[in-house]
A and B are shown apart, each in its own frame.
Chain A
Amino acid sequence: MLLDIIFNAFNGLIAGSFYALMAIGLSLILGLNGVINFAHGGFMALAAYLAFTLVPYVGFWGALVIAPLLTGGVGYIVEQLVVKRLYLRDPLYSLLATFGLALIIQDMLRTIWGAQGLPLAIPDFLNQPLSSTYFFVTGYRLFVMVLAVVSTAGLFAALRFTRLGVRIRAGNKDLETISAVGVNILLLRSANFMLGIVFAGLAGVLAAGQLGLTPTMGDQLIMPSFVAIVVGGVGSLLGSLLGGLIIGVASGITTAFYPAGSEVVIYLIMGVMLIARPRGLLGQEGLFE
């Protein structure tokens, strides 16, 4: 039984690191752009499908780099055409607009690539368990976990040490002031939106390597990321990371005792968090209380 719990906790940690990766892009956009991006899952799926098309030409590794960047480009266009126009309005507008976008992207994927599930080939050496005891730790899942940690660390470093990063952080705190000192906040928000979408794309390609592609793949992955943000704290990137890991592990451990409750438990945690500490673990005060 103890081994079973340890297995499931460890397995949850792997799943959680993946939620965290998705949640970070969402959290970036929510922070500076003030947009609850319901189309995040759609962009993930878009990147995954682009990767599927690219793999025969540039291989898995090439696609893992190029597809998220291309999706970031699409994200930029969408921001310019749609999201940008809604910054001054009530957040409900951008929420509805991105929800609509999510549906548009999903139907577009279905039209172009078909409703049929498609496999995304990953390198063989990653596609097997590392040991027969820990059969659920495949090379690929370990790789996803490491990549989640590395890219999150990279993002933190960028926010800390680059000029763009410092501006994004400052904008998170007080957009009007940095605008007053001469920062082009429209450009800053565009760049930030794009960065968030690149993260979504990265998560999407990685998810496809494990689960394959379906037009609705984003829907299945997006909800845990929202929960991760709420639990970790809106506006805090570190909180999103922590939130992802917590719900992953909690869901894993629950499986050992009561498999049917493994999904409910993450919403229970969210519910408890919203009652006891609405700002989340590391969230800024004031956003939700």
Chain B
Amino acid sequence: MNREHEPAPIASRLSPALDEAGVARTWRRIQSARAASRPRTRLTTRAFAGLAVAATLALCVWSLRETGPARAPGALAASEAPLAPGAAVRAASVSLDDGSRLALAHATELEVLANDGTRFDTLLRRGRCRFDVEPGGPRRWSIETDLATVEVVGTAFTVTRDDAGLAVEVDHGIVLVRGERVPGRVQRLLAGQRLTVSANAVPVAVAPAARPEPPDTAVPAAVPPAPTPAPAPAAVALESRAATQTIGVPRPSSPPPSVDVQSRLQEADAARAAGRPEVAAALLERALHEGGDATQRAIAAFSLGRLELEVLDRPTAAAGHFAAVVAHGAPRSLVEDAQARRVEALARAGRHDEARREATVYETRWPSGRRLSQVRAWLVRHAP
């Protein structure tokens, strides 16, 4: 490409093809188009593909109309509270867009773990929450506590986690309660039944179950922090409120070893709540290596990242765990949070170039991301 001794091109005698305003305008259009259509294909290809997809969908809907809907709507939303994974629900009453409702007692700590078209998982750290789940929905609802997990598809029930332990009371519908301290590790509760899982080694006396008062923010429940689960066996009582008949099964003398990721997450949460973050970190590390599905591993990695960053002040380690969340193929919202927190971790660790690169990755993937302003603020706050 020898350009020596060449006359200046004619363009040098012309005005620029695009003035500065045109350059800026075209760049904005390029950015908008890139954000709006990815991947971009030829118009005709898209048109034919669109027609084909529409025809296929119409056929599927038609053929499935007798067998029930296979609709997979997106994440639940509520105007009263953020419902992204990791968000703490603080509002006293939350109406979800599928018609379900949550009612939280005063001082209740409820956190969203996962929220997508197939599941809505929350963590009840302490307090009482009534769940009124719209029946027939496509999501599996799951309420995690440090003592057990409550699963439901469509019903109304109340979960209370206090000093004494855990109480699950079903108003109508059916729920499943799983956990190491639950007889047979799982119990099916029908309407009118109540299950209590004690946090202590001392068995709970079987008594007529008083119906818990509905959560009322005007009356403080004065719920103390959740205690660390005792390693010794706990008592379990499963009662019928109508007949006060115990239908529970005596728990085994020693619980089977907990190996599933879900249990590890619960144990880690309990350890963190008990002020033992190092133990919680170790449990989460084990959870990461004990299998489970990709989402569970991603939640474990994300929890570990937050613990390292916020409690243990180890931003470098945190950055690695947030990177792992992305690698585990987590739900989109969790990946977005992880990418954002990775920027914070790297910035706090003094790895500013990497932080900026990750910020660019975030901005590219989520141009209107809900963490965008935070990401930029972290870059500025921790700038050298």
Decide whether A and B assemble into one complex: no
Interface of B toward A, CB cutoff 8 Å = none
